[in-house]
Amino acid sequence: MKIISLNTNEINQNGYHFNKLTRNKIGFIYTAPIKIVPDDCLACDGYVLKIEDYKKLYSVIGSTFNNGEEAEDEFRIPDYNVTKRFLQPSNEVARKIAAGLPDIEGGYRHHGWGGDSYYGACYDNFQSFNYYGTGNQALSYKNGFKFKASASNSIYGNSTTVQPPAQTVHLCIKYK
């Protein structure tokens, strides 16, 4: 497909307008397989910096990563190496997402003779058996239980995903 005329600002392949502030990639995150910090970068360790000393970086990220402890003339860079959080693409940048796992729940329902059922994370781990009561009448007996993971640890139920296998890296942010 060839562009014949372009009446709006130039757009990259992902539909984003090019940003003149990031022409030199200031504010970009670099990933290294070893713990190294290039001369034009800072480790993403949550440092508090003076705006006056890092004007270009501040013009790109502003106070996005501030936590309220900074002075008026200061700003904070991301703390990715310190918090060891996974980076997740999103339109809502810099939002911290709590760790968690989906809740696991289940149980046992007694519906009368022969109508018992288990649901969710539970299953019938007991054998049914018949015994004879008074008058030689056959009676059925079954045990059951309920299971809910968040009752044992609050990490369950805080998320709809599970942590995948991962590889750690060192992250730096370009400031000049």
**Number of folded domains in the chain?**
2
Considering the domain architecture, whether residues 89 and 119 belong to the same structural domain is answered as no
Q: Which domain holds residue 130?
A: 105-151
Quote the pTM value.
Answer: 0.59
Q: How confident is the model at residue 6 (pLDDT cuts 50, 70, 90)?
A: very low
For the segment 17-76, what is each residue's pLDDT rounded down to a tens digit? 555 555 678 899 999 888 999 999 999 999 999 999 999 999 989 999 999 999 999 999
For the segment 25-34, what is each residue's pLDDT rounded down to a tens digit? 889 999 988 8
Considering the domain architecture, whether residues 131 and 48 belong to the same structural domain is answered as no
Considering the domain architecture, whether residues 54 and 88 belong to the same structural domain is answered as yes
For the segment 73-100, what is each residue's pLDDT rounded down to a tens digit? 999 999 988 887 778 877 887 788 877 7
Considering the domain architecture, whether residues 32 and 49 belong to the same structural domain is answered as yes
71-85 residues labelled b (16+ CB within 10 A) or e (exposed) = eeebbbbbbbbeeee
Considering the domain architecture, whether residues 90 and 26 belong to the same structural domain is answered as yes
